[in-house]
């Protein structure tokens, strides 16, 4: 019988087959079938996702994949969002841009998250990638409007420029003027993070006016309300729009212009912005409400009844972001009006206040869980919770994929029974079999971690703070959660035992963050010696590790797998526990 081998299939056919495989995971799987598949696949891979920019070096990526057109890179650990990662930690994109400049002249898409991007990097991007179409800088920092000007001037094929949540140095510049008059390809522009002097409004108007394919426009806070009507009238084809400041003295001409402008945007489905919003101007968007699938009011200080009234007019909502001004009563209305709701995020209006300023409790979330059968993703900040509520929510929503609960007092017990919230979260992981992301809070013992290890088999990301009593908790998670990729822990009494016992697990994960826990320096060194494919990074302000005792707990610990070895761009307060380094220190 003639054996069919890989060679009997011409490469071109395999390449064509591979072109239907878009997901990186599937491509990775295909590439390890055999050597020839590996070779064919690597030559035709066009898109790459690097979840940790230090897990691999740009050289290695380029060597394996010679013709990449789209790259996504992530830098700092997630807890950097909450001020836990000091400035200067790392995540610099310049080394990547420098190497790709030569290797990938046809690069089309660059997406970066939590990376340090300098003007020098942006200028290099502008110079090197003439075919750049997409530039997304999500939670990045280190650049100014000068860098943006370089992009605007050179990237003639740019379709998408998204500066979402980035910190841009406030330089007075009319960078928008650098888009040439001949430039008309803009499809998506997000400048919502920019500060006061950064945007020339007339340049923006002209830009919007000459880009007929513009579908997404998110303005920054400084764009006044009375300018929006004019802007919208130049882009009635918009699908997604983010206003600037939504407060102004009520004037009938401004009001009617706005109402008309919104009315003419027949394809508008997503609204955001609404900084400083006042109720007076809310009705101008009523004509759009019935079509809205996504509404972000998380910057709007609007309260009930105006807020609830607005929400009740949006029956097609799939995604809702709002402040806790919505209160339980508003969430009940949401539950009865918005049967297609998939994602809900409720943010605290006064996160640091000692006393509750709104009537938002667990009842609101229970109502939404009961009324919205498609609810999959929740981020909820509130001040009280009960096991009973969590059990009800879990039973109502077995389809949860993301569940993040943040109790403002992080160690608060079940307010009704005064018990820990172990059982409630246990119900969540038991019922929600597809849960991929979970954030815990409240008074929690080792018990909840036992439940998580037992049930949360699809869990990929777990965030823990002020929870647990012993290493057993960490052991449950590391030994039980088969799909775990990212684990971030702050202020928990977890020490060496669980970590050392589950060292091998760490190689199957992207990263582990532990801050203000009880992991000793000695354990870190041991991990560094035993696990060469892990980078063990210790962050400590108090001085180099060799000045401390082996049993001293480290302040911050970041462990991630890497094939690139320890990095060399560490700031003075980060030490690697790599074997060679560790022996130098002792």
Partner 1 sequence: MSSENGKRLLETDAGGLNFEATELTLGLPGEPRVTSDGGAKLGSKRGFSETVDLKLGDNNREVKLGHSLQEAAKSPVSKTQVVGWPPVRGFAKRGKKSCKYVKVAVDGAPYLRKVDLEIYNSYQQLLTSLEDMFSCFTIRNYLNEKKIEQVNGIEYMPTYEDKDGDWMLVGDVPWQMFVESCKRLRLMKSSEAVGLGLTTGPKYSSTN
What b-and-e string marks burial along 84-113, b requiring 16 or more CB atoms within 10 Å of the CB? bbeeebbbbbbbbbeebeebbeebbbbbbb
Q: Which is nearer to partner 1, 222 or 226 (CB)?
A: 222
Nearer to partner 1, 291 or 457 (CB): 457
412 belongs to the binding site for partner 1 (CB under 8 A): yes
408 lines the binding site for partner 1 (CB under 8 A): yes
Contacts of partner 1 in 188-227 (CB under 8 A)? 193
Stretch that binds partner 1, among 43-51, 120-128, 327-335, 439-447 (CB under 8 A): 439-447
Minimum distance between the CB of residue 237 and partner 1, rounded to whole angstroms? Answer: 28
Closest CA to 508 of 537, 479, 530: 479
Torsions phi, psi of 477, nearest 5?
Answer: -70, -50
| Interface mask toward partner 1 for 222-261; x: CB under 8 A | ----------------------------------------
Window 457-496: residues binding partner 1 (CB under 8 A):
463, 465-466, 469-473, 490-491, 493, 495
Angle at 403 between CA 397 and CA 406, to 5 degrees: 130
Interactions with partner 1, residue window 267-296 (CB under 8 A): 276
Report CA Rg, the chain: 26
Mask 366-405, x = binds partner 1 (CB under 8 A)? ---------------x-----xx--x--------------
3-state SS assignment for residue 487: strand
Helix (H) or strand (E) holding 271: strand 270-272
Residue 217 or 277 having the CB closest to partner 1: 277
Rounded Cα–Cα distance for residues 97 and 110 (Å) = 10
Give the residue, chosen from 25, 252, 572, 584, that forms a contact with partner 1 under the rule CB under 8 A.
Answer: 572
Binding of partner 1 by 579 (CB under 8 A): no
* Segment near partner 1 (CB under 8 A); pick from 149-157, 183-191, 263-271, 441-449: 441-449
**Minimum CB–partner distance for residue 78 and partner 1 (Å):** 9
Q: How far is the CB of 353 from partner 1 (least distance, A)?
A: 8
Identified binder of partner 1 from the candidate list 99, 120, 146, 167, rule CB under 8 A: 167
User: Measured from the CB atom, is 249 or 354 closer to partner 1?
Assistant: 354
Q: What residues form DSSP beta bridges with 534?
A: 561
Q: Which is nearer to partner 1, 364 or 442 (CB)?
A: 442
3-state secondary structure of 460: coil
Residue 58's alpha-carbon distances to 178, 294, 367, 570, 574, in angstroms, are 31, 37, 49, 17, 22
- Pick the piece of the chain touching partner 1 (CB under 8 A) from 152-160, 333-341, 406-414, 559-567: 406-414
410 is a site residue for partner 1 (CB under 8 A): yes
Draw the binding track, 333-362, toward partner 1 (x: CB under 8 A; -: no contact): --------------xxx-xxxx--------
Phi and psi dihedrals of 16, rounded to 5? -65, -40
Within 540-559, the residues that bind partner 1 by CB under 8 A are: 541-542, 551-553
Sites for partner 1 among residues 492-531 (CB under 8 A) = 493, 495, 497-498, 515-518
- 430 binds partner 1, rule: CB under 8 A: yes
CB of 24 to partner 1, least distance (A): 27
Among 204, 311, 423, 499, binds partner 1 (CB under 8 A): 423
The answer to whether 79 and 513 are in contact (CB under 8 A) is yes
- What does the DSSP assignment read for 38-79? HHHHHHH--EEEESSTTSS-HHHHHHH-S---EEEEE-S-GG
Q: Position of tokens 């809070």?
A: 441
CB of 572 to partner 1, least distance (A): 4
270/314 Cα distance (integer angstroms): 11
Size of the site for partner 1 (CB under 8 A): 79
Considering only residues 40-99, where is the footprint of partner 1 by CB under 8 A? 79, 81-84, 86-88
The Cα 54–Cα 73 span in angstroms is: 10
Listing DSSP states for 292-361 in one string gives: -SEEEETT----TTHHHHHHHT-TT-SEEEEEGGGHHHHHHHHHHH-TT--EEEEE-SSTT-SS--S---
Residue 339 Cβ vs partner 1, minimum distance, rounded to whole Å: 27
Alpha helices in 53-175 (DSSP H): 58-64, 94-103, 119-128, 145-154
């Amino acid at each position: 019988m003639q054996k069919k081998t890989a060679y009997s299939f011409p490469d071109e056919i395999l390449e064509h087959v591979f072109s239907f495989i878009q997901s990186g995971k599937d491509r990775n799987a295909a590439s390890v079938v055999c050597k020839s598949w590996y070779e064919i696949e690597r030559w035709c891979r066009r898109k790459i996702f690097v979840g940790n920019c230090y897990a691999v070096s740009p050289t290695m990526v380029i060597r394996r994949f010679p013709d990449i057109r789209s790259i996504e890179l992530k830098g700092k650990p997630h807890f950097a969002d909450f001020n836990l990662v000091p400035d200067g930690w790392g995540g610099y994109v310049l080394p990547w841009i420098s190497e790709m400049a030569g290797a990938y002249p046809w690069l089309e898409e660059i997406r970066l998250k939590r990376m340090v991007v300098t003007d020098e990097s942006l200028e290099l991007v502008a110079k090197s990638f003439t075919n750049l179409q997409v530039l997304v800088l999500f939670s990045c920092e280190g650049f100014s409007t000068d860098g943006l000007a370089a992009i605007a001037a050179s990237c003639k094929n740019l379709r998408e420029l998204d500066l979402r949540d980035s910190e841009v140095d406030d330089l007075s510049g009319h960078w928008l003027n650098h888009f040439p008059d001949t430039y008309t390809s803009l499809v998506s522009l997000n400048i919502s993070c920019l500060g006061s002097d950064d945007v020339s409004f007339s340049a923006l108007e002209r830009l919007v006016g000459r880009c007929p394919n513009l579908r997404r426009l998110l303005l920054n806070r400084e764009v006044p309300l009375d300018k929006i009507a004019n802007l919208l009238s130049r882009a009635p084809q918009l699908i997604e729009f983010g206003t600037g400041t939504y407060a102004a003295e009520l004037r009938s001409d401004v009001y009617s212009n706005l109402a008309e402008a919104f009315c003419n945007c027949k394809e508008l489905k997503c609204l955001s912005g609404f900084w400083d919003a006042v109720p007076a101007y809310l009705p101008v968007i009523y004509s759009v409400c019935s079509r809205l699938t996504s509404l972000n009011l998380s910057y709007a200080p609007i309260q009930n009844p105006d807020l609830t009234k607005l929400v009740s007019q949006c029956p097609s909502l799939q995604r809702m972001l709002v402040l806790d001004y919505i209160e339980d009563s508003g969430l009940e209305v949401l539950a009865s009006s918005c049967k297609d709701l998939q994602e809900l995020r409720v943010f605290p209006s006064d996160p640091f206040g000692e006393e509750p300023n709104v009537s938002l409790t667990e009842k609101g979330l229970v109502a939404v869980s009961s009324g919205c059968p498609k609810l999959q993703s929740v981020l909820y900040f509130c001040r009280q919770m009960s096991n009973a509520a969590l059990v009800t929510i879990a039973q109502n929503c077995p389809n949860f994929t993301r569940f993040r609960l943040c109790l403002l007092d992080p160690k608060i017990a079940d307010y009704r029974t005064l018990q820990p919230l172990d059982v409630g979260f246990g119900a969540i992981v038991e019922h929600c079999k597809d849960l991929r992301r979970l954030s815990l809070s409240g008074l929690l013992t080792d018990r909840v971690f036992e439940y998580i290890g037992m049930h949360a088999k699809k869990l990929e990301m777990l965030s823990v703070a002020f929870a647990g009593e012993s290493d057993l908790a960490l052991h449950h998670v590391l030994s039980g959660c088969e799909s775990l990729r990212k684990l971030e822990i702050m202020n928990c009494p977890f020490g060496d035992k669980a970590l050392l016992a589950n060292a091998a697990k760490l190689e199957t994960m992207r990263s582990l963050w532990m801050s203000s826990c009880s992991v000793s320096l000695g354990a870190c060194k041991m991990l560094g010696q035993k696990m060469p494919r892990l980078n063990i990074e210790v962050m400590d302000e108090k001085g180099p590790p060799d000045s401390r005792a082996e049993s001293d707990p480290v302040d911050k610990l970041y462990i991630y797998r890497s094939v690139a070895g320890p990095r060399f761009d560490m700031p003075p307060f980060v030490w690697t526990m790599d074997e060679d380094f560790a022996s130098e220190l002792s």
